Structure 1
Amino acid sequence: MNSTPKHINKHNLQSKFKSYPLYFQPILKERIWGGEKLKALGKKLPSKNIGESWEISMIDTDVNVVTNGIYQEKNLAELIHLYPNEILGTKVYQKYGTQFPLLFKFLDAKTDLSIQLHPNDELAKKRHNSFGKTEMWYIMQADDDARIILGFKKDSSPEEYIQHLQNKTLPNVLQEYYVQKGDVFFIETGTIHAIGGGILLAEIQQTSDITYRVYDWDRVDDQGNERELHVDLALEAINYKNKDPKIQYQKKENEAINLVDCPFFTTKIVSLTSLYEVAKNSDCFLVYICTEGSAQLTANNETFQVQQGTTILVPAQLTNFAFTGNATLLEVFINEI
């Protein structure tokens, strides 16, 4: 969990918050399974195995820095410390304090990720003093026959799970989904899962980096070492029940259609072809992820460009704005506060 920044330079910051959409410098992460597809989203990759672009984060030292406007070069933690109500919203600040409660990423899986799961809030708090990790995926691009693993084919048990793990047959009892652009999946805590190779996706999750890895396809790194597994920790955290995590939805032009509505976040999809106007209160921030196309956001007589691969934070205090253009947008906020 993030603590209050120790040193904050208040010079050149107005005492009254200026509300405008905030853009951030992405934090790029090398991964054993990563590739180069994030280039298509405008990311400047330092190597050929970049698996993740953390778009908006306040996890430990991974805090994004603003790249536009008067708050340029200030990081998100600094700004929230100075302007918690204005950025987070009155109700979010009351519930979460100065912690930004969500993490936004793009992921490029060149090869399969490990089979893994995440603990719920109660277990994560007890073991790691962290939030749990409920998350969702929006598939932005998928190669032919690309698939994901999500949950058990049928109800299982700790005993059956351990037996398959020991026999290296765990994938045989897990359900696979072949995916294509626009598919949406909601991954509740405890759901055993893996992203397969050939997939580029947007991920929305609670602010947590707690992952229990249980099977890694017996692969090794450049030094011949296997990655750490967390089999014992996972036993109590796994949900052994069968469940269908795929979200069914129908797009409507220039309207926000509900995808996921859970206690931790609400995500809607906007199929923008002309105009989408927003008028809201100041209870909560909004985040927009552009997964396709390009658009313009107009607020307070200023225009901000949004294109595929852009993630922007609309502070809670900015209550009226509009999008024009032709794009697919994910709209994210916290509803149950």
Structure 2
Amino acid sequence: MKLYPLKFKSIYKERIWGGNKLQSQLNKNVTGHSIGESWEISDVKGEPSVVAEGELQGKTLQELSKTFQEQLLGKKVHDAFGTKFPLLIKYIDAKSDLSIQVHPNDKLAKERHNSFGKTEMWYVMQADKGAKLMVGFNKEVTKEEYQEHLNNNTLTEILNFEEVKKGDVYFLPTGRIHAIGGGIVLAEIQQTSDITYRIYDWNRVDAKGNARELHTDLALDAIDYTVHENYKTEYQETQNEVTTIVNCPYFTTNLIPFTGTLSLNHADKDSFVIYMCVKGNVRFKTQNHTETLNFGETLLLPASIKNVTIHTEETSELLEVYIS
């Protein structure tokens, strides 16, 4: 069996804050009214992505990693992570506000959960008028001051809220307190980890009147209390060019806005490459394979495939993700 550009079956997650935009806007084949997440590529334990089509249909991402190893992952990635796929790729629809949360770094996550930490980034695909994200603090605070606000139910007074629009990018290193606000659809790229410390959940309860578990004590040592002047990632988009929007030790993410045809060469990379279609639809052509990627779909290009031609009849946009 040979590797080819791979699409996986989406894994849908019902969430208390979820909506129906994954169906209505991203055309996901899912029923229900509170679907908050579509996991596109996952090697989280117990939540494996499964190949959707072609000769490898039905195989899990973990099975492919074990079978093809460097051909799928790249030698550098395989050397660093073995057969554990290092990234988790999602689309998120927040109908209402997510909980305020933080993720531990690699050291804490390893000690407490035998897991990777969770550095992540957001690319806003759609935002209702006035929709906001919460990222970081709006002033310098000590751990003690933070605890005082938490205990007094005044935490939101020291948090940084920002109104967002399509194309906004936020990079979230471990330790940075954050929350997606209601009315936002975004693409999320992160380390393979499902470790989240929930700090504050707006005092809401589920249909049975139960509040969700909070992890306030665990979060104390995980939070970075530093305030930053600017939390949004600034970048200059250029049509028909590959623009790097995030570059960190865990992943690099580029934005490709284009019309017509572009040839992409990955000979300089020792990694798989992931494509997320965040606008329009795109046809991918490799030496032996043609694949169409529609808005809201995701494609995994194995490390052994170095050349790909992309084509669109309209103005389309891709996020291109790999490990440097």
Q: TM-score range by the shorter chain?
A: over 0.9
3-state SS of 2:218 partner? helix
Residue 321 of structure 2 aligns with which residue? Answer: 332
One-letter amino acid matched to 1:273:
T
> Runs of 4 or more off by more than 2 Å in structure 1?
none
Counterpart among 239, 252, 255 of residue 253 in structure 1 = 239
Counterpart among 194, 201, 215 of residue 216 in structure 1 = 201
Note if 1:279 corresponds to 2:268: no
Partners of 2:43 and 2:31 in 1: CA distance: 22
Residue 307 of structure 1 aligns with which residue? Answer: 294
Residue 22 of structure 1 aligns with which residue? Answer: 6
3-state SS of 1:106 partner? strand
Q: How many percent identity over aligned positions?
A: 52
Q: How does 1:2-81 map to 2 (within 5 A)?
A: 14=1, 18-39=2-23, 40-81=25-66
Residue 277 of structure 2 aligns with which residue? Answer: 290
Partners of 2:54 and 2:201 in 1: CA distance: 43
- The CA deviation at 1:19 is 2.8
- The CA deviation at 1:276 is 2.0
3-state SS of 2:157 partner? helix
- The CA deviation at 1:47 is 1.1
Note if 1:178 corresponds to 2:167: no
- The CA deviation at 1:249 is 1.0
Any conservation in 2 of the 1:271–1:328 contact (CA below 8 Å)?
Answer: yes
Bigger drift between 225-234 and 269-278 goes to 269-278
Note if 1:87 corresponds to 2:81: no
One-letter amino acid matched to 1:91:
K
- How large is the Cα RMSD of the aligned pairs? 0.9
Counterpart among 148, 151, 156 of residue 166 in structure 1 = 151
Q: List per-residue Cα deviations over 1:210-262 (Å, max 9, x = no partner).
A: 00001000000111111100010000000000122211111112211010000
Q: Which runs of 5+ in 2 are unaligned?
A: none
3-state SS of 1:270 partner? strand
Partners of 1:113 and 1:197 in 2: CA distance: 7
Any conservation in 2 of the 1:36–1:45 contact (CA below 8 Å)?
Answer: no
Counterpart among 313, 317, 323 of residue 310 in structure 2 = 323
One-letter amino acid matched to 1:225:
N
Q: List per-residue Cα deviations over 1:12-37 (Å, max 9, x = no partner).
A: xx3xxx13110000000000000000
- The CA deviation at 1:301 is 4.6
- The CA deviation at 1:302 is 2.9
Q: List per-residue Cα deviations over 1:266-310 (Å, max 9, x = no partner).
A: 000000112221212361100000001011111015321011011
Bigger drift between 251-260 and 129-138 goes to 251-260
Residue 132 of structure 2 aligns with which residue? Answer: 147
- The CA deviation at 1:93 is 0.2
Q: Which runs of 5+ in 1 are unaligned?
A: 1-13
Partners of 2:234 and 2:300 in 1: CA distance: 26
Any conservation in 1 of the 2:91–2:185 contact (CA below 8 Å)?
Answer: yes
3-state SS of 2:280 partner? strand
Counterpart among 239, 253, 261 of residue 267 in structure 1 = 253
3-state SS of 2:179 partner? strand
Q: How does 1:200-239 map to 2 (within 5 A)?
A: 200-239=185-224
TM-score (norm 1): 0.93
One-letter amino acid matched to 1:174:
L
Partners of 1:294 and 1:83 in 2: CA distance: 29
Partners of 2:266 and 2:128 in 1: CA distance: 38
Any conservation in 1 of the 2:5–2:289 contact (CA below 8 Å)?
Answer: no
Partners of 1:238 and 1:276 in 2: CA distance: 42
Note if 1:157 corresponds to 2:142: yes
Counterpart among 182, 191, 196 of residue 197 in structure 1 = 182
Residue 7 of structure 1 aligns with which residue? Answer: none
